[in-house]
A and B are shown apart, each in its own frame.
Chain A
């Protein structure tokens, strides 16, 4: 079945540091890949997505590239801010009739001033 593996958190960085959160997946066919962010006390928001190999999703300074050969979709940001502190979820949808999103376990990011 489908699965998503994210790096274990928590991740603690200083402001303006470089961020990488690793995500690898197992899926049938050619899944669509997503990153969601959950700020404290809130629901999940779609951060970025990619629907085919070599696509790069980007939003708010975050980027992730769909790498089919390594089955990866790592999240990066060049300079994090305190306001980026949140839980980040990698997810996939492998198509099919149930439209199910399979989530990773989430990575807590804390950015200190």
Chain B
């Protein structure tokens, strides 16, 4: 039943490790996103894929690499984790038509803690 599901929900790892966060949506949406929420709740877009094509790649360290194997999945791989990567990462999806966006559906988030 879950519309946008992320795994894992919590991730605690040491500096320098490589980790992945997975996201799947069953809404039939054509666009998926990764957002980072910092400790002050500020949300910043990282990446967006539309029909498996990368359309947003904000100023994000190249240690972060998204992968979209199909329209329903958007994974985030992070190399050489740093303390500053600690945050909550949200996946989202949306239905779009032309230039219109009908609003996002968010996953419940992955809380990443780098120690």
Binding site for B on A (CB under 8 A): 32, 34, 36, 38, 42-46, 49, 51, 87, 89, 93, 95-101, 103, 105-106, 108
Interface residues on B, range: 20 to 34
Give A86 to B91 CA distance when docked, in angstroms: 20
The interface residues of chain A lying within 8 Å CB-to-CB of B101 are: 32, 93, 95, 99, 101
24 sample A-B contacts, Cβ–Cβ < 8 Å, listed by A number: A34-B103, A36-B104, A36-B106, A44-B43, A44-B104, A44-B106, A49-B103, A51-B100, A89-B43, A93-B100, A93-B101, A95-B99, A95-B100, A95-B101, A96-B99, A99-B94, A99-B96, A99-B101, A100-B48, A101-B104, A105-B42, A106-B41, A106-B43, A108-B41
Give A18 to B31 CA distance when docked, in angstroms: 37
Contact status A105-B104, CB under 8 Å: no
Give A103 to B31 CA distance when docked, in angstroms: 18
**Residue from A42, A44, A103 having most chain B Cβ neighbours under 10 A:** A44
Among B85-105, those with CB < 8 Å from A are 90, 92, 94, 96, 99-101, 103-105
**Residue from A34, A99, A106 having most chain B Cβ neighbours under 10 A:** A99
Contact status B31-A99, CB under 8 Å: yes
Among B38-59, those with CB < 8 Å from A are 40-43, 45, 48, 50, 55-56
Known contacts A42-B108, A105-B40, A106-B42, A98 near B103 by CB under 8 Å: no
- Measured CB to CB, the closest approach of chain A to B15, in angstroms, equals 25
Contact status B90-A44, CB under 8 Å: yes
Contact status A100-B43, CB under 8 Å: no
- Measured CB to CB, the closest approach of chain B to A85, in angstroms, equals 14
Residue B109, interface by CB 8 Å: yes
Other A-B contacts than A93-B101, A95-B99, 14 sampled, CB-CB below 8 A, are: A32-B101, A36-B106, A38-B41, A43-B106, A43-B107, A43-B109, A45-B106, A46-B104, A97-B99, A99-B50, A100-B48, A106-B41, A106-B42, A108-B41
Contact status A100-B56, CB under 8 Å: yes
The interface residues of chain A lying within 8 Å CB-to-CB of B43 are: 44, 89, 103, 106
Contact status B106-A98, CB under 8 Å: no
